[in-house]
Amino acid sequence: MLGQDLIKSGSIKFGDFVLTSGKKSDYYVDIKEGATKPELLNEISVELSKKLTAKKIAGMELGAVPLIVATSLKANIPYIIVRKEEREHGTKKRIIGEINKNEEIDLIEDVVTTGNSLLKTADILRKNGAVIRHAICVVDRESGGYDLLKSNGIELESLVKISDILKSR
């Protein structure tokens, strides 16, 4: 079961943590750590590929990158990486990969809390011609992200909800 595998891999830790928001939490979700383990990354990519609705996927650097690459290989579909910030050097591109006008793209994210990061990714892609209606995350912290995305026309699916993980401990 993915939830238990996330705990065993150290992707979900229990203790006292301060989150990016400044809030305190008795658990911490770090999918990036788990994605460094081939068996777990494979398991996640298999589960993500089962939920795809589009023929292309996208995600924001850093957390989503190993997930979109592995899922792209599993589903044999192209992917797009969205940089967090505009580049000041090289090609200065914020989007790596091709977007065709009105092309439907599924978003992939490691962890969703408020949903702001996924919404930012969707907005960037939409401004570049993509249609974004569906997002998949590995873990939904169930902290408002689902509702925020829904109110912006994006259906969020998760592989695991944090409430299920906490119940199974």
Q: Is 86 exposed, middle or buried (0-12, 13-18, 19+ CB in 10 A)?
A: exposed
High-pLDDT (> 70) share of the chain, %: 99
Report the distance separating Cα 161 and Cα 115, nearest Å.
14
How many Cβ atoms sit within 10 Å of the Cβ of residue 127?
Answer: 9
Query: For position 93, what pLDDT does the model report?
Result: 85
> Token pair of 56, please?
């292309």
In the chain, the amino acid numbered 87 is R
Report which residue type is found at 32. Answer: K
Domains by residue range for the chain, with CATH? 44-168 (3.40.50.2020)
For 39-79, the pLDDT digits (tens) are: 999 999 999 999 999 999 999 999 999 999 999 999 999 99
The predicted model scores a pTM of: 0.94
